[in-house]
Amino acid sequence: MPKNSKVVKRDLDDDVIESVKDLLSNEDSVEEVSKKSELIVDVQEEKDTDAEDGSEADDERPAWNSKLQYILAQVGFSVGLGNVWRFPYLCQKNGGGAYLLPYLILLLVIGIPLFFLELSVGQRIRRGSIGVWNYISPKLGGIGFASCVVCYFVALYYNVIIGWTLFYFSQSFQQPLPWDQCPLVKNASHTYVEPECEQSSATTYYWYREALDITSSISDSGGLNWKMTVCLLVAWVMVCLAMIKGIQSSGKIMYFSSLFPYVVLICFLIRSLLLNGSIDGIRHMFTPKLEMMLEPKVWREAATQVFFALGLGFGGVIAFSSYNKRDNNCHFDAVLVSFINFFTSVLATLVVFAVLGFKANIVNEKCISQNSEMILKLLKMGNISWDVIPHHINLSAVTVEDYRLVYDIIQKVKEEEFAVLHLSACQIEDELNKAVQGTGLAFIAFTEAMTHFPASPFWSVMFFLMLINLGLGSMFGTIEGIITPVVDTFKVRKEILTVICCLLAFCIGLIFVQRSGNYFVTMFDDYSATLPLLIVVILENIAVSFVYGIDKFIEDLTDMLGFAPSKYYYYMWKYISPLMLLTLLIASIVNMGLSPPGYNAWIKEKASEEFLSYPMWGMVVCFSLMVLAILPVPVVFIIRRCNLIDDSSGNLASVTYKRGRVLKEPVNLEGDDASLIHGKIPSEMSSPSFGKNIYRKQSGSPTLDTAPNGRYGIGYLMADMPDMPESDL
């Protein structure tokens, strides 16, 4: 070794020994030690670093252009198709207006606290779902991966629904609408109505035969439906173009996609209130059936709807909030977005039942007309005496009240023979009690009602454009829940990852645009998200409240918000919410076990739906979807618990983030909780960490990315020193 090298090495060793003595002595405070350790960095580098840190907030991560853009993004993600076609159905099914009370209670107990929790951790740690839970506890890092898997499963079939909506939107520019009348079939001798349509209805026939061209079972694929394949491609192209630049591109689209549905809903409400029968629908909707509030099923379905309405566990909430400033009042955001979501659901319910009331009134008028003709025939045949019919009633143009009077009279006179007459009561409540949800509401019931609107093509265009925007808003949050954590963790280019993600999803999504694709959509909707997301959110709550520590988390929030959150959240996060979530998980498992796994198949010969059980391979797929979604949690836990991957090998436990660079950390992030409390993530701490190692700049040496938690991020070499008790620090 050259002589001058020995001198340099001797000087370096002396400096290290002096640094060790300083650290072991109790004369200096931690702050003084920190200052001394920073003196070894030359003045010029200190100036450069300070300049870099001054602009770190701008360089490290993109940010929302405004608070309004961020709120609209969260509203667009949480307010989706479920608010329009799931909430009204649950409200009708579970006691009308009485259902709103358990929903509101569970929104306060489960919804807002957990929504606030996800907003807080995303904004505090400023990473996607993988980085957030890996930071809080590397052993629970699988929570983030599970969120990404569930997001991808949901995105696969959710965009298919947007594709269906695009098809109906493209067919709405016609007068009359193509689903207005049953098609006629011509042969050599005569013309007749399509039997499948005649036995069902024009809108039902159009949905199952013209749009989906559906097969009679999931085992019969029937080949690709080219119309829906093109629509699915267009849907994924729209999502890809909107997301390719991250929030810089999707954030601007939010101004339209989030606000336009409200314009359409208000227009629909005003228009439907002017239609005959709309008040009957709204009255039926909000007539409370208080006795149903005592049924556990009502509370379980309300809790599930609250859970999915806010998008908990998907990672989209965390991803969007990670682009916020650290001093943003995320508590206000959580309450605001939650109640916007709730009132949107109520508004959509008003619109749906005003329109369904109008439709029920038309159906009821047809029923009265047909039954009046039957009564006239029975009178002419002598089966019913003219003497029982009041003289002021004209059966050729009978009103609803007069028909009810005649029906009751005939029922009393012909007590034993009444069933043989085949007369119907024609009550509007019977039509309104027919519970319709999901695609049945959007593509059958609502489309049928719109055919009776004046200027029906205009309202059809507006309705399906609203559904497209609601779907895209949720898709943006879902895809962001995949892209952001992957980009944060693996430092890939967002544009390339977005294109690959969308292209792969389109290829996998081809199974949903087969002629049997609707059955696969039902399968994924039932089994790919419900239980895995519940487990993910339970683990999120446990990770924050018990692994990281609820007291430390409250301190973090106080430091971030500038005020201490209410004690209400402390008790919710630590006791009530975990207990409620576990109860909901058990109830969901029991309900799934009691419900035979199957689907409603459309039988062409019967022109009706029939419940069929999944074949054996279908059962395997259902089980595999649930296992694959939650599998990352135990896999990552075992890997970290058993140290199956060395920290120095570049695994996820040794990755932190600073200004777009990946820094390899040989320290365990799990023991680095103090940095979160004091307001900085490890890559932003103001001085090197003191523990079993100290770090010192080597003069004249190349820079090495070896410093864990260092302020400067590069250029320190590790020097071993004896173990030092925490008290000596």
Q: Mark the ranges of the chain whose per-residue pLDDT is less than 50.
A: 1-10, 12, 16-59, 648-729
Closest-CA residue to 235 (of 513, 439, 522): 513
Contact by Cβ (8 Å): 580, 113: no
Closest-CA residue to 598 (of 586, 583, 616): 616
Residue 474, CA atoms < 13 Å, CB-side half-sphere: 29
Closest-CA residue to 33 (of 670, 695, 493, 616): 695
Q: Residue 375's Cα: distance from chain center in Å?
A: 53
Give tens-digit pLDDT for 116-169: 999 999 999 999 999 999 999 999 999 999 999 999 999 999 999 999 999 999
Domain boundaries, the chain: 94-363+435-642
**What are the backbone angles phi and psi of residue 310, rounded to the nearest 5°?**
-90, -5
Helix or strand (DSSP H, E) at 507: helix 494-508
Contact by Cβ (8 Å): 306, 106: yes
Tokens of 355: 């329109």
Rounded Cα distance between 481 and 384, Å, is 68
Contact by Cβ (8 Å): 23, 728: yes
pLDDT of residue 424: 84
Question: Mean pLDDT score of the chain, rounded to an integer?
Answer: 80
Contact by Cβ (8 Å): 179, 447: yes
pLDDT of residue 41: 36
Helix, strand, or coil (residue 626): helix
Binding-site annotation: residue ranges for Na(+): 76, 79, 83, 341, 470, 474
Contact by Cβ (8 Å): 336, 329: no
Structure-token match 């003289």, residue found: 391
pTM: 0.78
Contact by Cβ (8 Å): 317, 119: yes
Q: Roughly what angle, to the nearest 10 degrees, separates helices 550-561 and 112-125? A: 70
Contact by Cβ (8 Å): 527, 626: yes
Give, in words, the CATH class of 94-363+435-642.
mainly alpha
pLDDT of residue 375: 87
Contact by Cβ (8 Å): 164, 231: yes
Rounded Cα distance between 274 and 270, Å, is 7
Binding-site annotation: residue ranges: 76, 79, 83, 341, 470, 474
Contact by Cβ (8 Å): 688, 663: no
pLDDT of residue 392: 81
